[in-house]
């Protein structure tokens, strides 16, 4: 059994065959999926999908690229209310993105901190997006993330950063890039960190792993990431599946 701890099943790329995609995932051993919101609208859509499918759960949150879409304190109150719904298991996807900078960095930081505060108040884990913003992400987590846990989604930092995050109680999510030929440092990190702190993700429909690279990604493909972890660590696929599933259940209370 495998868990895809970070998907985007509300994406329009699944509009025609979402039910088949979820069925295919289960047939391939992905028994649980967390589909993340990235705007308020997307969060409501993720929850609706989760409510309609067994084994599918939801995250609700505002992505840093969408930080300008938060209009008022009412949005944060709504997020807090969504955290009380039975199928909502995480506040996410939230964080910082300095690659695209669709929102000013200052706004991203403010929205990130406010959402971390919601997670703390509601005793919820978070899923954190960090792209080209390692320094500010770490600074905010050290100051504003005390007492929180969750996943650093699609981890792309250094081994030193990984060690620091593990000391702080965070889990690291790995995705398709782990299987890419140009992924130099990530396999080394995956080989070194405790398996007990690793989570498997697809970030579908993006970042399809080898051998599906270039196609639309989907939760069924999380098995290729699990296989790569097993290869890197020289352990069985069963051990990877058992431990990462246990991790996901622990972090997200599945």
Residue with tokens 């599906």, as numbered in its chain: 212
For position 114, what pLDDT does the model report? 98
199 DSSP β-pair partners: 173
Are 158 and 165 spatial neighbours (Cβ–Cβ below 8 Å)?
no
Task: Inform me whether the pLDDT recorded for 242 exceeds 90.
Answer: yes
Contact 221, 204 (CB under 8 A): yes
**Cα separation, 209 vs 223, whole angstroms:** 10
pLDDT tens-digit series, residues 142-181? 999 999 999 999 999 999 999 999 999 999 999 999 999 9
Ramachandran region, residue 8 (left: φ > 0; alpha: ψ -120 to 50; beta: rest): beta
* Mean pLDDT within 21-38: 98
pTM check: above 0.85: yes
Q: Residue 184 has what pLDDT?
A: 82
C-beta separation of 91 from 117 below 8 A? no
CB 175 within 8 A of CB 207: yes
| Residue 240 scores a pLDDT above 90 | yes
What pLDDT, on the 0 to 100 scale, is given for residue 77?
A: 98
Peptide bond into 155 cis (omega under 30): no
- Cα–Cα separations (whole angstroms), residue 53 to 37, 123, 209: 16, 25, 25
pLDDT in tens, 116-128: 999 999 999 999 9
Average pLDDT of 205-233? 98
Confidence bin at 24 (pLDDT 50/70/90): very high
CATH architecture of 2-252: Alpha-Beta Barrel (3.20)
Per-residue 3-state assignment (H helix, E strand, C coil) for 170-182 = CEEEECHHHHCCC
Q: DSSP string of 136-152? A: HHHHHHHHH-TT--EEE
Q: Give the model's pLDDT for residue 101.
A: 84
Phi, psi of 151 (to 5 degrees): -115, 140
Encode pLDDT of 170-190 as tens digits. Answer: 999 999 999 999 888 999 999
Average pLDDT, the chain: 97
Residue 109 has a pLDDT of 98
Residue 118 is encoded by which pair of tokens?
């919601």
User: What pLDDT does 71 receive?
Assistant: 80
Q: Show the tokens assigned to 55.
A: 């084994």
Task: Return left, alpha or beta for 112; rule: phi > 0 is left, psi -120 to 50 is alpha, else beta.
Answer: alpha
Q: With beta carbons less than 8 A apart as the criterion, state whether 153 and 96 touch.
A: no
Per-domain residue ranges of the chain: 2-252
Q: Which is nearest to 248 in space by CA: 20, 22, 59?
A: 59
Residue range 241-251: average pLDDT?
A: 98
Token reading at 243:
């431990």
User: Rounded mean pLDDT of 53-77?
Assistant: 96
Q: Is the dihedral of CA 76, 78, 81, 85 positive or negative?
A: negative
């Amino acid at each position: 059994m495998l868990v895809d701890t970070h998907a985007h099943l509300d994406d329009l790329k699944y509009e025609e065959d979402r039910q088949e995609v979820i069925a295919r995932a289960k047939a391939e051993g992905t028994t649980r999926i967390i589909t993340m919101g990235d705007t308020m609208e997307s969060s409501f859509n993720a929850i609706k999908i989760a409510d309609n499918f067994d084994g599918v759960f939801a995250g609700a949150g505002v992505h840093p690229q969408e930080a300008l879409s938060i209009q008022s304190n009412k949005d944060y109150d709504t997020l807090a209310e969504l955290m009380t719904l039975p199928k909502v298991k995480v506040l996410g996807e939230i964080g910082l993105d300095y690659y695209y900078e669709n929102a000013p960095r200052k706004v991203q930081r403010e929205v990130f901190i406010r959402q971390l505060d919601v997670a703390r108040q509601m005793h919820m884990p978070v899923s954190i997006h960090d792209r080209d913003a390692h320094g500010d992400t770490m600074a905010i987590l050290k100051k504003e993330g005390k007492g929180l846990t969750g996943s650093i989604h699609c981890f792309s930092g250094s081994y030193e950063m990984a060690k620091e995050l593990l000391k702080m109680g965070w889990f690291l999510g790995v995705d398709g890039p782990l299987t890419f030929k140009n992924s130099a440092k990530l396999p080394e990190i995956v080989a070194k960190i405790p398996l007990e702190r690793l989570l498997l993700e697809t970030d579908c429909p993006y970042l399809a792993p080898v051998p599906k690279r270039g196609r639309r990604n989907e939760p069924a493909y999380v098995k290729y990431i699990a296989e790569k972890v097993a290869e890197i660590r020289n352990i069985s696929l069963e051990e990877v599946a058992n431990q990462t599933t246990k991790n996901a259940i622990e972090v997200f209370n599945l």
